[in-house]
Structure 1
Amino acid sequence: MFLVGLTGGIASGKSTVSIMLREIGCQFIDADVVARQVVEQHKPAWTLIVKHFGQDMLLSDGNLDRPKLASCIFGDENRRKLLNSCTHPYIQKEIMWQIFVHFIKGYKFVVLDIPLLLEGSKLLRYINSVVVVYCDGEAQLQRLMQRNSLPEEDALKRINSQMPLEKKKEFADYLIENSHGIEETRQQVRHLVIRLQQSKAHLWLRIPFLLLLLGFIFIILLGVKKLCL
């Protein structure tokens, strides 16, 4: 099994592409969903966030006030790093567990939807193919302003706080342009899935795993033999 990293920029259309991939039947791990799960009430990451950011970050029902927390760290690099230190280890652990489960089930590839894949994610080292969803700058700006009801200045601040889409494109193995109509994007997604299904990467990646498994079995058998002597 090999891993496909799906990423993009804010309002670039990554969510649209992820929905299309799911509709086609691709196996999917969504980092945003995992991130919400690990900070559920009284889980370790939740406890760390409350410890470092205070009870003010909680709603009346005890759950995290996510918009307030996001506002608290926006533009503050130190607070952002502190929050990441509270959540990222648990996010990565859960994602690795889900990857293992998909591997055991025998899937050829799994898509990992990771918004900040290229901004220092430790999972990047395990990714075989990077897919970047992009659109032109004007389309990105207009979509963000409309989607979040933001004035142009605030929308630009959010866009500029991320790695530029043009820079992300340099790291891509596959590109999906989402500047035009939905059907054009859908055609690109279908073409992508065909290429992924035709890939032989999963065969090469199984070799080291099988060698590791054989070594593990050999160690067990050697231990059993010693017990029998």
Structure 2
Amino acid sequence: MLTIGLTGGIASGKSTVSRRLTELGATVIDADAIARALQEPGQPGLEGIVEEFGPAVLTPGGRLDRAALGALVFGDPQARQRLNAVVHPLVRAEAERLAAAAGEDAVLVEDIPLLVETGQHGRFDHVLTVQAPVAERVRRMVEDRGMTETDARARIAAQATDEERAAVSDTVLVNDGPVQQLLDRVDAWWERHVEPRLPSPARPDRL
């Protein structure tokens, strides 16, 4: 099994890279998707969050009010640590379960936004980081996600810096142009770093 840690700041283009890696044949475990599932009603993640922060983080229908929770934690490092202490162990346990089921011949990609912040980079064969200019990330968050610029910059500031991610990365893919350019860079990275390590029958046929 080849293990790859995929990370990148919010709105860097990491989801686009993740989808392309799935298309190329990787088994992708998405930490954000796991976290969201664990925060559904009746799930242990939501129960833990309510126990830690109280019922004010719930909507009238009993679901997680992400805006209310975000307002609590993104401007308060201690509150963010409390949230992470609830969510991260649950996410890791589920990711480990999915990894164990992937099979020995898998190219296993774990998509972890906070890979650097949680100190997980050392457990992968290769760490792949997606990076984009801060101004472009802010634009995407404002235009595509409806955030204010202040909120967007607060989210970026709450994460590791580009320099911190690059310091623990084997490869940094810069997303500073059209989507197709990023996809081409993913393909080139795959051909160079992954295909040579695949068993021959698993290599995709290329014209």
TM-score (norm 2): 0.86
Q: Distance in 2 between matches of 1:167 and 1:47?
A: 33
Partner SS, residue 29 of structure 1: strand
Q: How far, CA to CA, are the matches of 1:108 and 1:31 in structure 2?
A: 18
Q: How far apart, CA to CA, are the structure 2 residues paired with 1:188 and 1:101?
A: 29
Task: Report the alpha carbon displacement of residue 151 of structure 1 after superposing the two structures with TM.
Answer: 4.1
SS in 1 for 2:83: helix
Q: Say yes or no: does 1:166 pair with 2:163.
A: yes
2:160 alignment partner, SS class? coil
Task: Quote the residue 2:195 is aligned against.
Answer: 197
How many corresponding residue pairs?
A: 198
The residue that corresponds to 2:108 in the other structure is: 110
| Secondary structure at the counterpart of residue 12 of structure 2 | coil
Q: What letter is aligned with 1:175?
A: V
Question: Does the residue aligned with 1:71 lie in a helix, a strand or coil?
Answer: helix
**Alignment CA distance shift 1:147-1:88 (3 Å):** same
Q: C-alpha separation between the residues in 1 aligned to 2:133 and 2:48? A: 39
Matches within 5 A, 1:49-88: 49-88=49-88
For residues 29 and 58 of structure 2, what CA distance do their matches in structure 1 show? 27
> Take 1:96 and 1:187, find their aligned partners in 2: how far apart are those partners?
30
Residues 1:14 and 2:24 are matched in the alignment: no
Could you state the TM-score of these two structures normalised by the residue count of structure 1? 0.78
Question: Which structure has the bigger radius of gyration?
Answer: 1
| Separation of aligned partners in 2, 1:73 and 1:151 | 17
- Residue 9 of structure 1 deviates from its aligned partner by 0.9
State the shift of 1:154 in Å. Answer: 3.6
- After TM superposition, the structure 1 stretch with the greater mean CA deviation from structure 2, 28-37 or 55-64, is 55-64
Percent of paired sites with the same residue = 33
Match of 1:120 among 107, 118, 121: 118
Deviations 1:136-156 (A, max 9, x none): 233223223322334444433
Q: Does 150-159 or 39-48 show the bigger shift? A: 150-159
Which residue number in structure 1 is paired with residue 154 of structure 2? 157
3-state SS of the aligned residue for 2:101?
Answer: helix
* Amino acid in structure 2 at the alignment position of 1:112: E
Which deviates the most, 154-163 or 51-60? 154-163
Q: How far apart, CA to CA, are the structure 1 residues paired with 2:148 and 2:64?
A: 27
Mark the runs of 5 or more structure 2 residues left unpaired by the alignment.
200-207
Inter-CA distance 157–43: structure 2 relative to 1 (3 Å threshold): closer
Gaps of 5+ in 1: 203-229
**Matched residues in 2 for 1:37 and 1:154: separation?**
24
Q: Which moved further from structure 2: 4-13 or 146-155?
A: 146-155
Q: How far 1:23 sits from its partner (Å)?
A: 2.2
- CA shift, 1:109, in A, is 1.8
